[in-house]
Amino acid sequence: MTVAECYQYAQSRLNKLGSNFSENLPKYQFVQAFNAMQILWVESRFKVDETNIVRTDEIQQLLKTLTIKPKKTGSNYYEITLPEDYLHYKRSVSFAPCEIFNHLVKEGDINRLLQDEFWKPSVEWEETICTIAGDKLRVYVDDFTLKSVEIHYYRSPVSINMADSFTDVNGNQTTNIDPEFKNSSLIEILNFTCQLLASDTTDQWNYQTLLNLNQINT
């Protein structure tokens, strides 16, 4: 589906819902609502469903791999800055020069795990631990040097846009940018987008409203 087709679908759906937008949905509001909901939809794919399966098959095009040279910013760890399009961590490995698997752990557990013989960094066992804080991936070391870090992650989806008489946040004239998901996924996202737009026109960007509508356990 093109962005124009998505917009037409939303218009029709809102008409069935009896929304105030049923006849004239502002394009900029549709764009904002869709982009907000597609992020929540993507994030819902990482949740474990009732069959203990993480449903990432629908978002494989978002998976990326980058190799980055880390900087030693502490006495026992290196850091890399996460890519600007980073959304969700999948896994990472470090090279020192052998390949070392990075186990992602919670920041609050670091001190305990660094003292644990089964968890502390080890070239011999080709394993170490890492954390994510803010926009940094931190990889811990013992008596070895990291040459590079390979991170596998899911990027943010492409933000749609529509050509209209309005400008974007940077003051640029808008153009059509189509969504990148297959139609079955787009229908899910569009249905939740329409629920958002029809729910409360005076508070439609309230984050709690978005969360309440994000019952995407389909």
Residue 21: what pLDDT? 62
Q: How far apart are the first and last CA of the chain?
A: 21
Phi, psi (rounded to 5 degrees) for 157: -70, 160
Secondary structure (DSSP) of 129-180:
EEEEETTEEEEE-SS----EEEEEEEEPPPPPB--SS-B-TTSPBP--B---
Give yes or no for a contact between 142 and 150, defined as CB atoms under 8 angstroms apart: no
**Local confidence pLDDT in tens for the 218 residues of the chain:** 999 999 999 999 888 876 666 568 889 899 999 999 999 999 988 886 555 566 788 899 999 999 999 999 999 999 999 999 999 999 999 999 899 999 999 999 999 999 999 999 999 999 999 999 999 999 999 989 999 999 999 999 999 999 875 666 677 778 999 999 999 999 999 999 998 888 754 454 454 555 555 554 44
Give yes or no for a contact between 94 and 149, defined as CB atoms under 8 angstroms apart: yes
